[in-house]
């Protein structure tokens, strides 16, 4: 896997964006830094039945190796008071690619594919989601402009 690390700033919060091969993953850990209850918000979001349903649909669309039978079992439990779900458990049971838990000294935390991260952003705050999308798009526009300039320079 090829990792490329960049950052964006959303409402005063610096958020890491990892490019893993061709896909962009946004740090959920960074997203919750300035919210009350911080990291526990990721756990609360993963306990939500609507979140599990969204993740399952996203995986079915984007992941040919998604383990649907395991997902169905998780879906049956979602919403119960005793239900808990971690990113690690999700990935192990379903072969999920929309979420990842990264460890190590640099860039550790919970990351989500940009589609999933935007959904999480909406759950945190509609305003936060809009700023997140705007800053992410600015980053992508800058990358695109840099590639265009590099191509024109090489052509010349």
| Separation between Cα atoms, residue 90 and residue 101, nearest integer Å | 10
pLDDT in tens, 1-31: 667 889 999 999 999 999 988 899 999 999 9
- Per the DSSP assignment, residues forming a β-bridge with 112 are 26, 99
| Separation between Cα atoms, residue 119 and residue 124, nearest integer Å | 9
Q: How many CA atoms within 13 Å lie on the side-chain side of 2?
A: 3
pLDDT on residue 74: 96
Question: Is 120 in contact with 112 (CB distance < 8 Å)?
Answer: yes
Specify the DSSP class assigned to residue 129. H
Q: What's the pTM? A: 0.89
**Alpha-carbon distances of 47 from 26, 32, 40, 82, 90, rounded to whole Å:** 20, 16, 11, 9, 11
pLDDT in tens, 61-102: 999 999 999 999 999 999 899 999 999 999 999 999 999 998
Domain ranges of the chain: 3-155
pLDDT at position 152 over 60: no
Question: Is 133 in contact with 10 (CB distance < 8 Å)?
Answer: no
Phi-psi region of 78 (alpha: psi -120 to 50; beta: other; left: phi over 0): beta
| Separation between Cα atoms, residue 99 and residue 26, nearest integer Å | 10
């Amino acid at each position: 896997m090829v990792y490329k690390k960049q950052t964006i700033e959303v409402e005063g919060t610096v958020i890491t964006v990892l490019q893993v091969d061709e896909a962009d993953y946004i740090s959920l850990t960074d997203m919750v830094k300035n919210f009350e209850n911080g990291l526990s918000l990721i756990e609360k979001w993963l306990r939500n039945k609507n979140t599990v349903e969204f993740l399952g649909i996203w995986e079915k669309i984007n992941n040919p190796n998604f383990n649907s039978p395991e997902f169905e079992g998780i879906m049956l439990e979602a919403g119960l008071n005793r239900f808990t779900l971690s990113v690690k458990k999700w990935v192990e049971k379903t072969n999920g690619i929309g979420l990842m838990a990264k460890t190590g000294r640099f860039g550790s935390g919970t990351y989500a594919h940009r589609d999933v991260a935007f959904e999480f952003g909406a759950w945190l705050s509609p305003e936060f989601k809009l700023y997140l999308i705007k800053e992410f798009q600015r980053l992508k526009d800058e990358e695109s402009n840099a590639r265009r300039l590099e191509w024109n320079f090489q052509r010349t």
